[in-house]
Amino acid sequence: MMLQVLLWLMFLLLVSGCATEQAVSFQSDIDPILHDKCQRCHVPPDGIGYVRTGLSMESYDTLMKGTMFGTVIVPGDSKRSVINKLIEGRAGDVMRMPHGEAKQLSAEEIEYFKLWVDQGALNN
């Protein structure tokens, strides 16, 4: 009986370990996306997205600072983060980021952003 309980506990531990979500790194996962898909517009001094909103995606610090209207990331909460709303198209298609002819984020990249924010939007 005791052995059975132990085996079940080991099984549960194994399953919970497998279910642990992937840790997303800002440096290796998010920054390359920003560089590839966002910095075309969101860089000072002349990037159109920077000029219009004040949002620079040049670095972790500037990203966390947000726009002149407020922050764009709520660490730990992708649902309420502006950046997630916009790249996921939750603020309507007209507001979906990136705008215009820029390369769109793939479903995988959008998921990375979601996980990164939900994991606390760390500078890791």
Partner 1 sequence: MDKCFKKIPVSNVRNRYLTGFLCPVILFGSSFTSSTLLAEQPPDIAQYTLQREKTSEFVSSTLQSGKRPEIEISEHSGDYQIKVVALIAAPASYVRDVLTDYTHIYRLNPSIIESEVLKQEDDGSVNVRTKVVGCAAYFCEELERVEKVRQLPSGDLQAEIIPALSQFKSGKTTWHIKPVGDYCEVTYVSDMEPDVYIPPVVGKFLIKKSIREEMQISFTNLEKISSVLAAREWQEKHVPANHQTVSKPHHMEQASNIE
- Residues lying near partner 1 in the complex (CB under 8 A) are found at 48-49, 51-55, 66-77, 79-82, 85-86, 90-92, 94-95, 97, 99-100, 118-120
Nearer to partner 1 by Cβ, of 35 and 79: the residue is: 79
Q: Shortest distance, CB of residue 10 to partner 1, whole angstroms?
A: 24
Tell me how far apart the terminal alpha carbons of the chain are, to the nearest angstrom: 45
Q: Is 77 helix (H, G, I), strand (E, B) or coil?
A: coil
Contacts of 38 (CB under 8 A, 6+ apart): 49, 57, 97, 98
What's the farthest any 2 CA atoms get from each other in the chain?
71
Q: Shortest distance, CB of residue 93 to partner 1, whole angstroms?
A: 8
Nearer to partner 1 by Cβ, of 75 and 124: the residue is: 75
Q: What angle do CA 18, 23, 24 make, to 5 degrees?
A: 145
Q: Shortest distance, CB of residue 44 to partner 1, whole angstroms?
A: 11
Cα 34 from chain centre: 10
Nearer to partner 1 by Cβ, of 5 and 94: the residue is: 94
Q: Shortest distance, CB of residue 15 to partner 1, whole angstroms?
A: 18
